[in-house]
Every structure is written in C-alpha cells, then in structure tokens.
Structure 1
Amino acid sequence: MLNQTLTAVPRDCEDCPIRHRAVCARCEADELEQLDKIKYYRSFEAGQTIIWSGDQMDFVGSVVKGIATLTQTMEDGRTQMVGLLLPSDFVGRPGRGSAAYNVVATTDMVMCCFRKKPFEVMMSQTPHIAQRLLEMTLDELDAAREWMLVLGRKTAREKIASLLSIIARRNATLNLADVTGSMVFDLPLTREAMADYLGLTLETVSRQISSLKKDGIIQLEGKRHVTVPDFDRLLAEAGDDSDGGMLA
C-alpha cells in the first residue's frame, strides 16, 4: 500500500467522483453515514496485486481512481486476463469468503473499501445497497457475455474498436457526458496490456490502432490521449449497433 496521503480523493461521499455509479448510489444521508463508519481508503501502485485468487477477503469496495485487471492462473502456470475493473466497479462478493480471481492494479489506484462483515450486515438491512449491488452484478454478467463475443468472434480490428468503445462509454458516463458524437478520453491501458487482454500480439494491437487512426476513426495525441470524432463510427468498426451494444 502506498504511503502518500489521499488528498486528491474526496472523503465526503457527496463529493465522490463515482458516487452516481457506485454501490452507494441510491443511499440516503443516514445510510451514507452508516457506510462512513465502516469505510477506509487504500492506495495501490501500478503492478501491485490487490488480492490473490483463493485468499480470504476481509474487505469489499469500489474502484475510485485507476484501473485493475481480473486474472486467473491455469494449472500449467499460464495467466489469462478475464476482466477489467474501471472506476465505480465493485471488488469482492458479500457472502463469499475467498477471492475468485487475482486482482492486479494496472495503474496507480485508489479504492474505497468497506469492512466485509459489517458491510454484509448493512446490506441485509439496507434495500438501497442490496438493489444497487444486484444491478451491478447483472451488468457485470451482461458485460462478461459480451466480452465472450469480443474474444471469440471478432476480428483484431473489431476487438480494438470494442475495447476503445467500452472505455470511451465508461469515461463519458462517469463524467455525466453524452455517449454520442465526439468523445475524448485517456487510454488507461498500455498497448502491452491491451494485447494481453484481447489475446493479440503487441504488433497486431499497434497495427490496428494505426489503421484506425489512418482511417479517421480515432485521433491520438501521444500514445494515450484519444479523440473519437464520431462515436457511431467507432461502434460500427466494433461491429456494434448505434444504441451501444456494450455496457458502460
């Protein structure tokens, strides 16, 4: 865990940048006060393991800043990336004693954590939390099914466009912006991480990003700052229809 202070992260739930999408999104003032008594913040450096698969978890929580990967290690030692955790995503499962996946910080991260046992008690007594967690779980299930399509049936170009559209949509949603027209965001993953996640080579990722740039689908400033002039065109390249096709 990092030693630096978390001055950049609002301690007041009302000022939290993920408040409108987090597990506490529907909580009333008295419920937020109860959550505040069991919450704490943790910071992680890029590359640091947050939790290992099979470890006992004494906390659950939401990603406030940064991005993490969910990975699973196979019997022969190979590691497969199976998901991304973006800001507002929930880590851990109430009622489950151990972690199902390795969770590794891809960038520097901040998490808003809750002590697991008190959170489980509060969840059983607070419909707002239970309902929101159910919604998030169903969204996660839909996203997992969609990702099976991305990995199994799409071309390399469609995979890259799909990943860019997911990140663009989430960034817009977090910033309460329209998910239409021109969109601007910073890519939180290196090209190496994108290749690992999509099951592609680094050369293929770089080639497809260059192709999308050449065709005017995206604009790049450096390697990370992305402008999408027309989000519908990006969705078309991803093989998705204009109403989204993918969850934010």
Structure 2
Amino acid sequence: MTVREDVHSAGIPVLCQSCEARHRGVCGALDPDQLVALAKTSSKHRVEPGIELIGDAETVDSYSNVLSGVVKLTKSLSDGRQQIVGLQFAPDFLGRPFKVESAINAEAATAVSLCSFPKAAIERLMKESPELEHRLLKQTLNELDEARDWMLTLGRKTAAEKVTSFLLMIARNIDPTVNPTAKSATFDLPLTRADIADFLGLTIETVSRQLTRLRMDGVIRIENNRHLTIDSLSRLERRSGA
C-alpha cells in the first residue's frame, strides 16, 4: 500500500522546512530556488513493511530520501539465495546516481516514509550544485566505511559481540530526531529474528540466546518480543567489542 501526496508549494515547501532529510540529508545542499524546483517534481510515499522499493536489475528512473523507517538492502544469487547486505535509515539517500540499472534489492523493513523525485531532476541539480554532489559522495564514503566496519564485525567478532553491535547500530540510527548524545534508547526491532540471523551470519537460535543473555544481564529490556529499551548505551557499547 502506497499513499502519495504533493509536497510542493509557492515558497519553500512546508514539508521540506521540517524534514530531517532537508537539514541533514542531501537536500540541505540546495538553495531555496533549487529546493522549490525539486519539490515541484517530488511526492511523498508511505510504504508498508515488506514492500519492494527497488528490484535487482530494475531500470533506475527515480531516487528517494528516507524520511522515516528502515530500508533493508539485499543481494540475491542466481539460485534464489539472498543476503541482507545493509540497512538504510533517515535521512539516507536511496538510489545510485548515474546507474542505468539497480544492482541491489531494497525493501521496507518497517513502515517507511519516502520523498521521491525523478532521476533526471536530481542529476540536473547535481550539475548545478557542487555541494549536492559533495553530499552524495560523502554518504557513499560513509557507507563504504560502515561496510568495512561490518566486515570486521562479521569476520572477527563473537556471536555476543555481533548481536550487541547490531543493537547499537539500530539504537543510534533508527530515530533521526533523537539527540545523538542520548545515553539511552527505546525502539522496536526493525528486523525479525530470522533477518537478524541472516544479517549477522548466525542461527536464529543463537540470536535468541544472545538477546536472552543481554536481558538476563540487565543490559536490555524486551517487551512483546520486539520492543527494546536500553538504559545505558555505553554499557551496551562495552559489550560490542568496539
């Protein structure tokens, strides 16, 4: 299910003024006139969990800013086997500029709000705004750094450290409105136990066992199997092997 609404207006769009992607994401690189021009071609979407956003080998004709929620990125083998290779949060930019076809699958892991715009519009603005191109490059380099860190997590950390590192990543990224210096966090797990196991290269039983251990040690509190409260992020970090 997708709900659309027009986001443009005569001046700087109201949605853009309060949008996290406007201030911290790529749109923050645009001047008011450029922002209005982009907004005139944009639409806001709310996508339900499980809906595919981008298909592997699909022709790229639009890009999006993630406004809220979590997007799951996956790669598939020819025999149908699939691997979760990353997660995206607000205000990440969803899509790969200058690619004719997508090389990855993107799926809404939770209910996701997106602001989408045509490929031609954003690529035209990239030519006009070096700062926009710089922000896109910076996000790409950040994703590369995160991928390298995750390779270390998957290759060298223990099962306990992997699960703790995953929870720490979610706590720090799932809600863009939370102060980055916050000492505690409360959130719903965006992935099922099976998806967490796939992402971490563990079994479902191992993931459940490690979550239980963290709960028994008082590091986390779990309600209704998905709702987590972490009273001390520093304590969680110490368990992550960072």
Counterpart residue type for residue 213 of structure 2: S
Change (3 A) 1:117 1:79: same
1:205 aligns with 2:212: no
Which residue does 2:31 correspond to in 1? 28
CA-to-partner distance for each residue in 1:99-118, whole Å, 9 max, x for gaps?
Answer: 01011111222211110012
Residues in 1 aligned to 2:51 and 2:45: alpha-carbon distance in whole angstroms: 12
Residues in 1 aligned to 2:32 and 2:132: alpha-carbon distance in whole angstroms: 13
1:69 aligns with 2:72: yes
Deviation at 1:63, TM superposition (A): 1.3
Residues in 2 aligned to 1:105 and 1:219: alpha-carbon distance in whole angstroms: 25
1:124 aligns with 2:127: yes
Which residue does 1:140 correspond to in 2? 143
Which residue does 2:41 correspond to in 1? 38
1:236 aligns with 2:235: no
The question of whether the paired residues in 2 share the 8 Å contact of 1:187 and 1:224 is answered with: yes
Q: Pick from 109, 126, 140 the counterpart of residue 106 of structure 1.
A: 109
Residues in 2 aligned to 1:137 and 1:21: alpha-carbon distance in whole angstroms: 15
Residues in 2 aligned to 1:184 and 1:130: alpha-carbon distance in whole angstroms: 34
Deviation at 1:127, TM superposition (A): 2.1
**Greater displacement, 21-30 / 58-67:** 21-30
Please list, as runs of the form range in 1=range in 2, the aligned pairs for 1:148-159 lying within 5 A after superposition: 148-159=151-162
Helix, strand or coil at the partner of 1:20: helix
Q: Pick from 141, 163, 168 the counterpart of residue 165 of structure 1.
A: 168
Helix, strand or coil at the partner of 1:12: helix
Change (3 A) 1:43 1:175: closer
Q: CA RMSD in A?
A: 2.1
Deviation at 1:142, TM superposition (A): 0.5
The question of whether the paired residues in 1 share the 8 Å contact of 2:29 and 2:129 is answered with: no
Residues in 2 aligned to 1:123 and 1:237: alpha-carbon distance in whole angstroms: 42
**Greater displacement, 223-232 / 131-140:** 223-232
Deviation at 1:136, TM superposition (A): 0.8
1:84 aligns with 2:87: yes
TM-score, scaled relative to structure 1: 0.87
Which residue does 2:195 correspond to in 1? 193
**Greater displacement, 152-161 / 15-24:** 15-24
Deviation at 1:232, TM superposition (A): 1.5
**Greater displacement, 83-92 / 15-24:** 15-24
Residues in 2 aligned to 1:216 and 1:136: alpha-carbon distance in whole angstroms: 35
Unaligned runs of 5+ in 1: 241-248
Q: Pick from 18, 21, 26 the counterpart of residue 15 of structure 1.
A: 18
CA-to-partner distance for each residue in 1:130-174, whole Å, 9 max, x for gaps?
Answer: 1211111111111111111111111111111111111111146x1
Helix, strand or coil at the partner of 1:88: coil
Question: How many residues were matched structurally?
Answer: 237
TM-score, scaled relative to structure 2: 0.89
Identity of aligned residues (%): 42
Counterpart residue type for residue 93 of structure 1: R
Residues in 2 aligned to 1:212 and 1:189: alpha-carbon distance in whole angstroms: 18
Deviation at 1:175, TM superposition (A): 1.6
The question of whether the paired residues in 2 share the 8 Å contact of 1:180 and 1:232 is answered with: no
The question of whether the paired residues in 1 share the 8 Å contact of 2:5 and 2:43 is answered with: no
